[in-house]
Amino acid sequence: MNIIVVGLSHKTATVEIREKVAFSPNQMQKPLAELVGLDGIIEGVIVSTCNRVEIYATTRDIAGGIARIKRFLADYHRIPLESLDQHLYTHHSENAIRHVFRVASSLDSMVVGEPQILGQIKTSYGYAAEYKSSGIILNRFLHKAFSVAKRVRTETKIASSAVSVAFAAVELAKKILGDLSDKTVMLIGAGEMCELAAKHFLNSGARGVMVTNRTFERAEKLAEEFGGEAVRFEELFTHLHRADIVLSSTGAPHCIIGPKDAEEVVRRRRFKPMFFIDIAVPRDIDPKVDDVENAYLFTVDHLQEIVQANLAQRSLEAEKAEEIINQEIGQFHKWLSTLEVTPTIVALRTRFDEIRRGELEKTVSGWKDLPPDAEKRLEALTMAMMNKLLHAPTAVLKKAGQGGRVDLYVDALRQLFELESLQHDDRELELEE
Amino acid sequence: MIQIFFYLTFALYGCATAAYLVYLLRTTPQVGTWANRLVTVGFATHLLSMIHRFSSSGYLPITNLHESLSFFALTIVGSFILFERKYKVTILGAFIVPVALLMVISSSVFPSAIRELNPALKSNWIWIHTIMAFISYAMFTIASGAAVIYLIQQHFLKKKRLGALFQKLPSLNTLDDINYRCLTIGFPLLTIAIITGAIWAEKAWGTYWSWDPKETWSLITWFIFAALLHSRLTTGWRGKRASLLTIAGFLVMLFTFIGVSLWLPGLHAYK
């Protein structure tokens, strides 16, 4: 049995393509049913996020399975396969296992170490489990992937540092102000990065937002969006002391907050520390503000530096993570290959026994003056022959099952003796776990 | 036999100090957990050695420099363990536990023999007076440890050097909280220690205040922390200035405790 992966991601396809191939999360029953209905596909899971669409499946026929899944992806989304094919990557066997472990551990993510992907795969697996498109192998496989991801998370520091400017700002704020739940953010001006940072602050528990803008309507609109309070630009300094975090990105040609202002504001705050983030170019906040006691000024460049350092740290940690994954692949692959030893032996015996019985029947039924105990003797003879013939291959297979790399034998036996109709008993295998 | 717990304490504080310093410089969280365990066990053996000494001498073991330094270390470590639990500031151990270790080391320099007690010390006031004084000293030690870290963190923030050490040390806010908490516990205790000391002095020597060097320097310590607490409460002083003043107060306190005993003869000097 083989695990195969067919998919595309931010590395191989643009967002336009990814959108076309995405599966909508609340309608997973139909595609999952179609997937496992494909010829030769036994189990299937569909992972669909904004950065990747991937299908994990088990099959005996690697090439055929991959081809059919590609065709399924194209047909389901009504895209010509010729245009889709160039964006698709495929993996099978050990590489498929490695790929899924890496994806779950967030090593293949756009931002390495970002934590969302694991949750997304869990959700996708949830659908597959709900609609019973995944079976014993993929169940075990994905649970293994989750545990590998957890191990990577706890044993490396891959996800411990902020790698976006907005997150770096939040982390830094916590280092200065401690718990953010009683802290207020003041947003001066507007701008994508500013708003993003404000959102991050609110998500991290900040109590509230004040928004000011030269156009008051704009401030009101933004304030409404954040559930905050709009402040007139002229009244900035009557409200500034209430803010613990100041995010500034106006298009003003001169600085709007100078060291004197900052000193005054900090004094009004009874010297509680204040965190200024200047996102504007040219700058909104005079660099001398940083010299004011209990005022801490950071610009985007400073935050960018932190992010760069964290990214460098992450790539070091990613190497450790690959190491962990390599260990885990070996273990899982071994389990996967031993999975088929017993059913193969059973199938082989059944096959031999069928032939033996058939031939015995033929011989005995056409034999007129058969001595009374001859049938018994013939039975014993053929049984002994069959057992002797099967003894060596059975022993080799069992032994190989303990050492890994058993799939070669299993595949060879399957093809040599045409054991295709074989089905393993799920319950029995689950007991083995 | 009497010294066995003392030497055990000595070894455990030494190991804990090493572990805290490793924890400070390397990024392995397990080391911090082990350091905490070591220091807790060290505290227990230290306490046992104190109890042992108390039961064999019959008086509170703070009558000479050996005993006092050891007792000071005990209160510092005890307070640190409590603050570590409350504020989750394992890293503070790298700044506090070495101080306790130094105290234990220097205490072993002084003679440790149990002697006949000075009659002036045979009073129940010794309990309240000295225990209050020692706990307030421990609080100021913790406060100045936090103050040192505050200055380091502030330096990193102002210079925009936000490396691994910056990430590991606590937030400014936590450090300031610790400083304030120590001050609000330590200052009233110091006040009580001075007042009960005066009452005891009246009973033992017939005068409330005799401007003996220890008394004078205690009063200076008291004034520094009073000024700090006052400006914190009225104008909201905090951060760098509060940290500097805390450290100044701690140094004066240390001089009151050790320097006065060694170099300025008076009624309080350990004989």
Query: What span, in angstroms and rounded, lies between the C-alpha atoms of B254 and A192?
Result: 54
Claim to verify: residue A8 and residue A141 sit in the same structural domain? yes
Claim to verify: residue A102 and residue A189 sit in the same structural domain? no
**CB of A175 closer than 8 Å to CB of A306:** no
Is this prediction's ipTM beyond 0.95?
A: no
Q: What share of chain A is helix, strand, coil (3-state, %, to 5)?
A: 60, 15, 25
A251-287 pLDDT tens trace: 888 899 999 999 999 999 989 999 999 988 888 999 9
Given the DSSP bridges, would you call strands A295-299 and A274-278 parallel, antiparallel or unpaired?
A: parallel
Q: How confident is the model at residue B122 (pLDDT cuts 50, 70, 90)?
A: confident
User: Residue A97 is part of a domain; what is its CATH number?
Assistant: 3.30.460.30
Given the residues A15, A33, A50, A374, the one annotated as active site: A50
Where is average pLDDT lowest: A186-200, A387-401, B110-124? Answer: B110-124
**CB of B143 closer than 8 Å to CB of B85:** no
A292 assigned to some structural domain? yes
Q: How confident is the model at residue A415 (pLDDT cuts 50, 70, 90)?
A: confident
Claim to verify: residue A148 and residue A227 sit in the same structural domain? no
| pLDDT (0 to 100) of residue A280 | 84
Query: What span, in angstroms and rounded, lies between the C-alpha atoms of A113 and A110?
Result: 9
Which of A161, A188, A218 is the C-terminal boundary of a domain? A161
| pLDDT (0 to 100) of residue A426 | 42
Which of B49, B79, B113 is the C-terminal boundary of a domain? B113
Claim to verify: residue A138 and residue A206 sit in the same structural domain? no
According to DSSP H, which parts of A270-373 are helical?
300-338, 341-365
**CB of B85 closer than 8 Å to CB of B94:** no
> Which of A294, A299, A316 to mutate to probe the B interface, most B CBs <10 Å?
A294
Claim to verify: residue A134 and residue A119 sit in the same structural domain? yes
| pLDDT (0 to 100) of residue A424 | 44
Which of B90, B113, B136 is the C-terminal boundary of a domain? B113
A327 assigned to some structural domain? no
What is the number of domains present in chain A? 3
Claim to verify: residue B169 and residue B216 sit in the same structural domain? yes
Which residue, B111, B110, B93, B106, is CA-closest to B42?
A: B93
**What would the DSSP string read from start to end of B160-223?**
T---HHHHHSPPHHHHHHHHHHHHHHHHHHHHHHHHHHHHHHHHHHS-S----HHHHHHHHHHH
Claim to verify: residue A290 and residue A381 sit in the same structural domain? no
**What would the DSSP string read from start to end of chain B?**
-TTHHHHHHHHHHHHHHHHHHHHHHS--HHHHHHHHHHHHHHHHHHHHHHHHHHHHHSS-S-SSHHHHHHHHHHHHHHHHHHHHHHH--GGGHHHHHHHHHHHHHHHHHS-----PPPGGG-STHHHHHHHHHHHHHHHHHHHHHHHHHHHHHHHHHHHT---HHHHHSPPHHHHHHHHHHHHHHHHHHHHHHHHHHHHHHHHHHS-S----HHHHHHHHHHHHHHHHHHHHHHH---HHHHHHHHHHHHHHHHIIIIIHHHHS-STTS--
The partner residue sitting opposite A293, judged by closest CB among B160, B171, B239, is B239
The partner residue sitting opposite B239, judged by closest CB among A174, A178, A271, is A271
Chain A residues whose CB is inside 8 A of the B177 CB are 178
Claim to verify: residue B194 and residue B171 sit in the same structural domain? yes
Claim to verify: residue B104 and residue B236 sit in the same structural domain? no
- Better-predicted residue by pLDDT, A206 or B28: A206
Print the domain residue range for B29.
1-113
Claim to verify: residue B142 and residue B270 sit in the same structural domain? yes
> Which of A271, A288, A293, A296 to mutate to probe the B interface, most B CBs <10 Å?
A271
- Give the full edge-to-edge strand order of the sheet including A208-213: A229-232, A208-213, A184-189, A245-249, A274-278, A295-299
Q: Phi/psi at A85 (nearest 5 deg)?
A: -55, -40
Known catalytic residue at A50? yes
| pLDDT (0 to 100) of residue A197 | 85
- From the CB of residue B82, how many other CB atoms can be counted at a distance below 10 Å? 12
What is the number of domains present in chain B? 2
Q: How confident is the model at residue B94 (pLDDT cuts 50, 70, 90)?
A: very high
Q: Which long-range contacts (CB under 8 A, 24 or more apart) does A274-278 make?
A: A274/A243, A274/A244, A274/A245, A274/A246, A275/A172, A275/A173, A275/A176, A275/A177, A275/A244, A275/A245, A275/A246, A276/A246, A276/A248, A277/A169, A277/A197, A277/A245, A277/A246, A277/A247, A277/A248, A277/A303, A278/A248, A278/A249
Write the CB contacts of B178 (distance below 8 Å, at least 6 apart in sequence). B83, B87, B89, B92, B142, B143, B146
Query: What span, in angstroms and rounded, lies between the C-alpha atoms of A270 and A275?
Result: 15
Query: What span, in angstroms and rounded, lies between the C-alpha atoms of A414 and A422?
Result: 9
A301 assigned to some structural domain? yes
H-run or E-run covering A129: helix A116-130
For the record, the structure tokens of B90 come out as: 């394992």
Residue A313: closest C-alpha in chain B: B164
Which of A132, A161, A190 is the C-terminal boundary of a domain? A161
A316 assigned to some structural domain? no
Q: Do A294 and B171 touch (CB under 8 A)?
A: no
| pLDDT (0 to 100) of residue A404 | 55
Q: How confident is the model at residue B132 (pLDDT cuts 50, 70, 90)?
A: very high
Work out the average pLDDT over B45-63: 85
Work out the average pLDDT over A90-103: 93
Which residue, A427, A353, A349, A354, is CA-closest to A393?
A: A349
**CB of A139 closer than 8 Å to CB of A340:** no
| pLDDT (0 to 100) of residue A420 | 62
Work out the average pLDDT over B85-93: 93
- Better-predicted residue by pLDDT, A177 or A193: A177
For the record, the structure tokens of A48 come out as: 């669909």
Print the domain residue range for A27.
2-161
| pLDDT (0 to 100) of residue A342 | 81
Claim to verify: residue B29 and residue B90 sit in the same structural domain? yes
Claim to verify: residue B215 and residue B250 sit in the same structural domain? yes
When the pLDDT of each residue in chain B is averaged and rounded to a whole number, the result is: 89
Residues of A at the B interface, defined by Cβ within 8 angstroms: 157, 161, 172, 174-179, 269-273, 290, 293-294, 296, 298, 302, 305-306, 309
A140-159 pLDDT tens trace: 999 999 999 999 988 887 87
| pLDDT (0 to 100) of residue A410 | 79
Q: How confident is the model at residue A422 (pLDDT cuts 50, 70, 90)?
A: very low
Q: How confident is the model at residue A423 (pLDDT cuts 50, 70, 90)?
A: very low
Q: Is the pTM of this model over 0.80?
A: no
Q: How confident is the model at residue A425 (pLDDT cuts 50, 70, 90)?
A: very low
H-run or E-run covering A92: strand A89-92
For chain B, give the percent of residues with pLDDT over 70.
Answer: 95
For chain A, give the percent of residues with pLDDT over 90.
Answer: 53
Q: Rounded to the nearest 5 degrees, what angle is found at the Cα of A333, between the Cα atoms of A66 and A120?
A: 65
Query: What span, in angstroms and rounded, lies between the C-alpha atoms of A231 and A188?
Result: 9
- Identify the burial level of A372 via C-beta atoms within 10 angstroms of its C-beta, where 0-12 means exposed, 13-18 middle and 19 or more buried: exposed
User: Residue A301 is part of a domain; what is its CATH number?
Assistant: 3.40.50.720
Q: Do B153 and A302 touch (CB under 8 A)?
A: no
A131 assigned to some structural domain? yes
Claim to verify: residue B31 and residue B152 sit in the same structural domain? no
Which of A306, A325, A357 is the C-terminal boundary of a domain? A306
Residues of B at the A interface, defined by Cβ within 8 angstroms: 27, 153, 157-158, 160, 162-163, 166-167, 171-174, 177, 235-241
Claim to verify: residue A292 and residue A172 sit in the same structural domain? yes
- Better-predicted residue by pLDDT, B22 or A163: B22
Q: How confident is the model at residue A427 (pLDDT cuts 50, 70, 90)?
A: very low
Claim to verify: residue A8 and residue A152 sit in the same structural domain? yes
The partner residue sitting opposite B160, judged by closest CB among A269, A273, A302, is A302
| pLDDT (0 to 100) of residue A136 | 87
Q: What's the number of CA atoms in the CB half-sphere (13 Å) around residue A146?
A: 13
Claim to verify: residue A172 and residue A142 sit in the same structural domain? no
Which of B113, B148, B166 is the C-terminal boundary of a domain? B113
Chain A residues whose CB is inside 8 A of the B30 CB are none
Q: Residue A257 carries which DSSP code?
A: B
Claim to verify: residue A187 and residue A290 sit in the same structural domain? yes
Work out the average pLDDT over A245-253: 90
Claim to verify: residue A102 and residue A176 sit in the same structural domain? no
Give me the residue label for tokens 């100090």.
Answer: B17
A397 assigned to some structural domain? yes
| pLDDT (0 to 100) of residue A311 | 83
Q: How confident is the model at residue A406 (pLDDT cuts 50, 70, 90)?
A: confident
**Number of residues written out for chain A:** 433
Give the closest-approach CA distance of A142 to chain B in angstroms.
Answer: 30
A312 assigned to some structural domain? no
Q: Do A296 and B158 touch (CB under 8 A)?
A: yes
| pLDDT (0 to 100) of residue B2 | 60
Where is average pLDDT lowest: A165-169, A195-199, A340-344, A417-421? Answer: A417-421
Can you name the residues that pair with A7 across neighbouring β-strands? A54, A89
A329-364 pLDDT tens trace: 988 887 887 777 888 888 889 889 999 999 988 888
Claim to verify: residue B141 and residue B230 sit in the same structural domain? yes
Claim to verify: residue A26 and residue A172 sit in the same structural domain? no
For chain A, give the percent of residues with pLDDT over 70.
Answer: 96
A377 assigned to some structural domain? yes
Angle between helices B4-25 and B65-87 (to 10 degrees): 40
Q: How confident is the model at residue A402 (pLDDT cuts 50, 70, 90)?
A: low
Work out the average pLDDT over A215-219: 90
Claim to verify: residue B135 and residue B57 sit in the same structural domain? no
Q: What single-letter amino acid sits at A67?
A: A
The partner residue sitting opposite A271, judged by closest CB among B27, B173, B236, is B236
- Identify the burial level of B174 via C-beta atoms within 10 angstroms of its C-beta, where 0-12 means exposed, 13-18 middle and 19 or more buried: buried
- From the CB of residue B176, how many other CB atoms can be counted at a distance below 10 Å? 24
- From the CB of residue A404, how many other CB atoms can be counted at a distance below 10 Å? 15
Claim to verify: residue B35 and residue B140 sit in the same structural domain? no
Claim to verify: residue B132 and residue B240 sit in the same structural domain? yes
A117-128 pLDDT tens trace: 999 999 999 999
H-run or E-run covering A193: helix A192-203
Claim to verify: residue B26 and residue B160 sit in the same structural domain? no
Give the closest-approach CA distance of A21 to chain B in angstroms.
Answer: 42
